[in-house]
A and B are shown apart, each in its own frame.
Chain A
Amino acid sequence: MKLEGSYIINASKEEVWLAMNNPEILQASIPGCESLEKLSETQFTAIVKAKIGPVKASFTGEVSLENLNPPHSYTLTGEGKGGLAGFASGAADITLSEHDEGTELQYEVEAQVGGKIAQIGSRLVGGAAKKLSDQFFRRFAAAINGEEENPE
């Protein structure tokens, strides 16, 4: 499935770009991210506890930064295995552009789920992906703006 949207962040493109490459900010932004360990400048291993309603699954996998074009754009990809729940993967193309109020962050996410969550939860997958993706960018924008976003 595809998702897209944009956020206005009250910071310069360079500041946003630095944040986009900061593991601490990434970890704080990824909903349910319990750990993000650096393998290289652009590769991380992650443990994410996803919680959607009654479903609670722990995904372990990799997060990586690709197609780096500082300070304009990159692709943030992630894939994780969730045991019985199945797997989830996604790639977000993120583009920065200058804006009157700072920087506009535009994203296009291509996400896939597989295994049991795809087999029995199809009516909820779209909504859940949208919710998680909104949470990510909202927290990300908040982190750069120096705001406290309530973790959920």
Chain B
Amino acid sequence: MPDTGNLTTGGIGDAVQRKEDFRFLTGRGTYTDDINRMGQTHAVFVRSPHAHAKIKSVDTSAASQASGVVGILTGADMVADEVGSLICGWNVVDRHGEGHKAPPHPPLAHDTVKHVGDQVAVVIAETLAEAQAAAELVDVDYEVLAANVDTASAMSGPEIHPEAPGNLCYDWILGEEATVDAALANSAHVTELDIVNNRLVPNPMEPRAAIGEYDMATGEYTCFSTSQNPHVLRLILCAFVLGIPETKLKVIAPDVGGGFGSKIFCYAEETTCVWASKKVGRPVKWTSTRSEAFLTDAHGRDHVSHVKLGIDADGKFTALKVETIANMGAYLSTFASSVPTYLYATLLAGQYTTPVIFCNTKAVFTNTVAVDAYRGAGRPEATFVVERIVESAARELGVDPAELRRKNFIQPDQFPYETPVALTYDTGNYEASLDKAMSMIDYAGFPARRATSEANGKRRGIGISAYIEACGIAPSAVVGSLGAGVGLWESAQVRFNATGTVTVFTGSHSHGQGHETAFAQLASTKLGIPFENVEVVHGDTSKVPMGMGTYGSRSLAVGGSAIDRACDKIIEKGKKIAAHLLEAAVEDIEFADGNFTVAGTDKAKAMGEVVFTAYVPHNYPEGVEPGMDETAFYDPGNFTYPAGTHIAEVEIDEATGVTEIVDWVAVDDFGNIINPMIVEGQVHGGIAQGVGQALLEGTVYDPESGQLVTGSYMDYCMPRADDLPSFRVDMTTTACTHNPLGVKGCGEAGAIAAPAALINAITHATGTMTVEMPATSERVWRALQENN
């Protein structure tokens, strides 16, 4: 047996290298597309080239004669099989007390197509090349209808669903409008801003993929899928779409190469593969091309807002009013409705004591692919609104933006702090992170740096973003009362093997976050066993207890807490066995560093010995079950509230409008840290994504034809290493008060904080109220012209 008790590497707080990186970095991961099943066929979807059209006919006769074709299935076949509609699992109730409009979303369209890329048929063939060739022969006759893709004008555009008059999905409010209007009217100053939060394509490195398989002998289906939450996918497929008992569908999400939210949802393709596998009697595999990913992965953001911030004569915020139109795309995706409401409006207090807040969100349908959660999901949009309007107000008032923030911060002694938008922040220290960030970037030295830049024909700007997020999603009772169709607890099973190694089963899912490492560190410290002795299993509904998956920076705060609870159960049981072995009372047994000891004595039993006894219970306490295998379900009492300050500094080339990010400091409060290296990596990745949104990434649908113009990397600009500076990352810490680990979550923070910091820096440099995202060189150049 390996040496026990060595906790200096791999315990909580160690920057241990990630267990999973060897296989990822050497090409040895097993992704869905790496899996090949006996007798497997290949699916290619026939997709609409039109944004909006009636399907007049689908002629599969030529295609079905093509070489290698096993089957061609259409929307009509799905209707005949009574395949259900893809669902939205969060019912948002509008300002009139009515539920949102969730029009039918057939996995294969049979009547109309509503966005470019909408599925019309699936061609299943022996090889991928044969499926592709046959798909080209499927002749779909369309009657083209007028397309409606623009968020701001969607409500007055052509109607997309008869179920949603005026293309309105819901008209939702939070707060009292009259109160907020009155407070604004009585304010010494009101700052107003029009804000566009640009639409983004998620672009995980691994495109989506699925294999559906049906075992005729057992009547059991298997779905291999690139899912962030295999149990949720199983639940939706079974209970709502395909009508399969949950006992007869196994969902396996193996190594998954990034998701950023886009792999939370139940899509048409995996649904079709599972359904079709029984129809054709063979496993059916589909792997998205990058072109398909652009067209069909749920996009992110896409808000148009008008914002008003009231300020009194002392510089205190009096009221905030936000009116937002949020683009849902053509169909309501799995959690789409919650993103611009409960994950957005509830964060509009930010780090501030703004006493009254009103938010109205109108969600609209358009002839674009669905929009749903994307890294940050609602909270980047909220932070962008708050931090842009606060910065703009400071400039209008001629006060230092840092000082205006400081004056309005919730103070450390005010926690727990109930905001006017339904959340209770448990803890925080916002001034501490602001101060640290300002000192790191030498805020006071900015004027001198600006003068140097100006002497070189460059404009220089500095921008702050003091963000907060609610994550660790989250308390089931709360989300249930807000319309969620699921609970958001998490499960963990901690299984000691007889020889002392531990398998941790988690219902959360790793698609790059490093669960195999961080959770092993957690179990290692908690149980006092070597890091190397812990294996983490996730992503297979046949192995892991039902869990809710990974999104909303929840894995550690919720899933980690469940592991902690399961470990507690192990320790409690171990105490009973140790008491028996040590001939002491259970109450006298203490557990620390992997050893059970009798209090006040040197009598001890190591965890390994106790575990071995549990599996070989020759000398065993009466009434205690053998084995050492415990399961816990953890439902948190509150969200967690990571917060911090990011400051960006930019230099702009006056002649071209090109922005260079010359410095970036991030000071985040994530509560307690399990692995600082993973945390820093998450911060880096998040900032890179936020910089992508602010500077480079913009999704463009042609306003007339509804075609996706930014449908490849020729036109959709992802951030590259040389677009980014070396980030300087530091922490402040206030431990979360309501989970056993004191952790908050770090996965989304960078993407939430970054856009506002960067646009604040750019507008500081240009001297204009706004520059729209992405702040391309032309937009910045035009802003400079406007200001000259």
Contacts and interface: CB of A to CB of B under 8 A. Distances in A.
Interface of A: 83-84, 86-87, 112-116, 118-123
A119 B705 contact: no
B611 interface: no
26 contacts: A84-B136, A86-B49, A87-B50, A112-B705, A112-B707, A113-B705, A113-B707, A114-B49, A115-B707, A116-B49, A116-B291, A118-B705, A118-B707, A118-B708, A119-B291, A119-B295, A119-B707, A119-B711, A120-B291, A120-B712, A120-B714, A121-B714, A122-B709, A122-B710, A122-B715, A123-B714
Nearest to B47: A115
B209 interface: no
Contacts of A116: 49, 291
Given A116-B291, A118-B707, 12 more contacts: A83-B136, A84-B136, A112-B704, A112-B705, A112-B707, A118-B711, A119-B294, A119-B711, A122-B709, A122-B710, A122-B715, A123-B715
A112 B50 CA distance: 11
Contact of B708 (A84, A87, A112, A119): A119
B116 A114 contact: yes
Contacts of B711: 118-120, 122
A59 B704 CA distance: 22
A125 B295 CA distance: 19
A83 B708 CA distance: 18
A120 B136 CA distance: 18
Nearest to A116: B291
Nearest to B290: A120
B702 interface: yes
A40 B229 CA distance: 58
Interface residues of B, number: 18
A9 to B, nearest CB: 31
Contacts of A123: 714-715
Closest 5 CB pairs of A and B: A119-B711, A115-B49, A118-B707, A120-B712, A122-B709
A6 B719 CA distance: 43
A68 to B, nearest CB: 23
A113 B715 CA distance: 16
Interface of B: 49-50, 116, 136, 291, 294-295, 702, 704-705, 707-712, 714-715
Contacts of A115: 49, 116, 707
A82 to B, nearest CB: 9
A53 to B, nearest CB: 14
Given A120-B714, A123-B714, A114 B50 contact: yes
Contacts of A112: 702, 704-705, 707
Contacts of B712: 119-120
Given A86-B49, A87-B49, A113-B707, A118 B702 contact: yes
B218 to A, nearest CB: 40
Contacts of B295: 119
A86 B295 CA distance: 14
A114 B711 CA distance: 11
Nearest to A125: B709
B703 to A, nearest CB: 11
A113 B706 CA distance: 10
A74 B609 CA distance: 94
B707 A114 contact: yes
A121 to B, nearest CB: 8
Nearest to B712: A120
B22 to A, nearest CB: 36
A58 B50 CA distance: 19
Contacts of B708: 118-119
A108 to B, nearest CB: 15
A119 B294 CA distance: 9
A115 B53 CA distance: 13
Contacts of A121: 714
A33 to B, nearest CB: 22
Contacts of B291: 116, 119-120
Contacts of B707: 112-115, 118-119
Contacts of B710: 122
A84 B289 CA distance: 14
A84 B134 CA distance: 11
B174 to A, nearest CB: 38
A120 B116 CA distance: 13
A37 B294 CA distance: 38
Nearest to B291: A119
Contacts of A113: 705, 707
Nearest to A84: B136
Residue of A83, A87, A119 most packed against chain B (CB within 10 A): A119
Contact of B705 (A83, A84, A114, A120): A114
A114 B295 CA distance: 13
B709 A118 contact: yes
A84 B133 CA distance: 10
Residue of A87, A120, A123 most packed against chain B (CB within 10 A): A120
A117 to B, nearest CB: 9
A83 B139 CA distance: 9
A111 to B, nearest CB: 10
A83 B47 CA distance: 12
Contacts of B714: 120-123
A120 B289 CA distance: 13
Residue of A87, A115, A123 most packed against chain B (CB within 10 A): A115
A66 to B, nearest CB: 16
B57 to A, nearest CB: 14
A51 B155 CA distance: 40
B291 to A, nearest CB: 6
Nearest to A118: B707
Nearest to A82: B49
Residue of B291, B704, B705, B708 most packed against chain A (CB within 10 A): B705
Residue of A83, A86, A118 most packed against chain B (CB within 10 A): A118
A74 B625 CA distance: 90
Nearest to B133: A84
Contacts of B715: 122-123
A13 B711 CA distance: 45
Contacts of A118: 702, 705, 707-709, 711
Residue of A112, A121, A122 most packed against chain B (CB within 10 A): A122
A61 to B, nearest CB: 12
Contacts of A122: 709-711, 714-715
A116 B291 CA distance: 8
